[in-house]
Amino acid sequence: MENKGSKFNMCWDITSKCNEDCKFCYRNKLKKDLSVAENRRILKSLYDSNIINKITICGGEPLMYQGLFELLESVNKPDDVSLSIVTNGIKLAKYDSHTKKFIIDKDLMNRIIKHFKWICFSIDSSNQDIENLVGRNNLHVERIRAILDYLKENNSDVCIKINSLVSEQNYFEIPKLYEFISKYKFIKRWKLFRYLGDNNSKEINDYYEIKDLKFEEVKNFAKSIENENIKISINDIDTYNGTYIMLKQDGTVEISNDGELKEVLDLKADDIRQINNIKEFNKEKHKKTHGVKF
């Protein structure tokens, strides 16, 4: 199949398993995870396709996928593809109640650093009470701080990104979160995602959905930041439409289309290069939205 020259980024929800239970979580638990052997075929076909720049492994919690590193080690990655991982950090830092300190899993951290160019941590507020409202565990802020402090002392050359979900429950704390983030000079990217109201529960959507004016406040704040160390990007409602290539844990590819996720390919049988012909996928918008060089 002809490669027309465009290269894309994609997100791979490799598992729906998670060791956290955020109320707003969007993961689809109905689709089953594939085996390492099945995912190996998919990963190889992605690498061979010559149209993928960057693969962000997410989930669920990707470190809960049994055989993640076996999978990555089983296929030679081309130099021009970079890998990124999004994690909640729980497996990276265990809390020791005796010393009241976090113990970093150095072996796991080193494996991650070996395979992934970017490590992305999810944190929505530097205020633990707000994180509790969002539904994250009681130690989330301190855990992420402990991991960042560890990296600062030991691996300050890794590329770190932060993902934050902006909802009605945390938008007013975003400036404080920026203060927290900006202390770590090796954090190179911060992505703010608007809560889209895509949970099945109306109650949860009502609780988290953020009004336009409030999200504008967040955007204006982000635009006012002058910091050449960190690239900040914002995902508002229209940013999602047609721009993300989302590979789900069962091998299907979904594209966001007018607020709905539409299944457009199944990589167990289809070739990712067919994405070039999918009308719901907006290549130009994808390049503008995800065209950050890695």
The answer to whether residue 62 forms part of the interface with ligand SF4 (CB under 6 A) is: no
Shortest CB 56 distance to ligand SF4, Å: 13
Shortest CB 92 distance to ligand SF4, Å: 13
Edge-to-edge strands, sheet with 245-247: 231-235, 187-194, 159-166, 118-122, 82-87, 52-58, 8-13, 245-247, 252-257, 260-266
Q: Which is nearer to ligand SF4, 129 or 284 (CB)?
A: 129
Shortest CB 16 distance to ligand SF4, Å: 8
Distance between CA atoms of residues 124 and 130, nearest Å: 8
Shortest CB 277 distance to ligand SF4, Å: 31
Shortest CB 21 distance to ligand SF4, Å: 6
The answer to whether residue 59 forms part of the interface with ligand SF4 (CB under 6 A) is: yes
Q: Which is nearer to ligand SF4, 130 or 272 (CB)?
A: 130
Piece in contact with ligand SF4 (CB under 6 A), picked from 4-12, 56-64, 155-163, 239-247: 56-64
Q: List binders of ligand SF4 among 8-27 (CB under 6 A).
A: 18, 20-22, 25, 27
Shortest CB 192 distance to ligand SF4, Å: 15
Q: Which is nearer to ligand SF4, 131 or 242 (CB)?
A: 131
Q: Which is nearer to ligand SF4, 60 or 242 (CB)?
A: 60
The answer to whether residue 61 forms part of the interface with ligand SF4 (CB under 6 A) is: yes
Shortest CB 195 distance to ligand SF4, Å: 11
Q: Which is nearer to ligand SF4, 29 or 106 (CB)?
A: 29
Q: List binders of ligand SF4 among 74-133 (CB under 6 A).
A: 88, 122
Of 180, 266, 287, residue with least CA distance to 230? 180
The answer to whether residue 56 forms part of the interface with ligand SF4 (CB under 6 A) is: no
Q: Which is nearer to ligand SF4, 208 or 281 (CB)?
A: 208
Please report, as ranges, the residues that interact with ligand SF4 according to CB under 6 A. 18, 20-22, 25, 27, 59-61, 88, 122
